[in-house]
Amino acid sequence: MSVTQATGSGWGAGKECTDKVFAQGAVPGAEDGASSIRDGNMKYITTVEGKQFLVEIIDEKHISVDGKVYEVDFGAVSGQPVYSLIVDGKSHEAYAAQGEDSWQVLLRGRLYPVTVEDERETRLRSAAGGGVVETGEFHLRAPMPGLIVTIPVEEGQPVKKGQVLLILESMKMQNELKSPRDGILGRVRVKAGETVEQKQTLLSIQ
């Protein structure tokens, strides 16, 4: 798969962002990129754990992230939602699944929520005062099928943004699913030892 077929194939800058860099690159996407790129380089705002990166698709094999250019290659593995990502000659694998409002990217045993927007859309939304909704009930859904290992929280308990809500074992790795915001833990719909399907509702936050 070429770079132009991977919408928002983003990258972070600096060694401290290495995993987030790969998480962005594992997001598959638009099939019409080749035609779009002829009208000028495509630009996207990719957000990983609250940090934004400006991603520009230069050509079939190169992207720029916050001004730094990377040589990349990207492709699906065996028809599964597992993707091979080669960055400057180094190979990596990641699991990527599309959720309701973001991509869920599993890399090195850690799960990253990744959102991708066209640069123009982001600027228009910001100008209109748009932003992340921090109120109302949030439903945490399984990003991939797996086994619930443990649930270190209880119903009615206050939780903080980034706090581990449960651990899901998938692809022989244990993955921490964290709270996207502060709130009160609502109904927990699963229990330790239970097998869950992709997109199954696990719990809610109020």
d(CA 142, CA 118): 26
The rounded average pLDDT for each run of 10 residues, N- to C-terminus, in the chain (206 residues) is 40 39 51 38 82 86 88 78 82 78 79 79 54 70 87 96 89 82 94 91 92
Say if residue 143 is in the same domain as residue 121: no
State residue 152's pLDDT score.
96
Residue ending a domain, choose from 126, 158, 191: 126
Which residue type occupies 127? A
For residue 186, count CB atoms less than 10 angstroms from its CB and return exposed for 0-12, middle for 13-18, buried for 19 or more: middle
State residue 27's pLDDT score.
57
Say if residue 110 is in the same domain as residue 169: no
Which range of residues forms the domain containing residue 107? Answer: 3-126
175 and 195 Cβ atoms separated by less than 8 Å? no
Which stretch of DSSP H or E encloses residue 22?
helix 18-25
Say if residue 121 is in the same domain as residue 142: no
State residue 150's pLDDT score.
96
- With tokens 């799960």, the residue in question is 111
Which residue type occupies 154? E
Residue ending a domain, choose from 126, 156, 176: 126
Say if residue 169 is in the same domain as residue 87: no
149 and 174 Cβ atoms separated by less than 8 Å? yes
18 and 12 Cβ atoms separated by less than 8 Å? yes
State residue 79's pLDDT score.
67
User: Tokens at residue 195, please?
Assistant: 């097998």
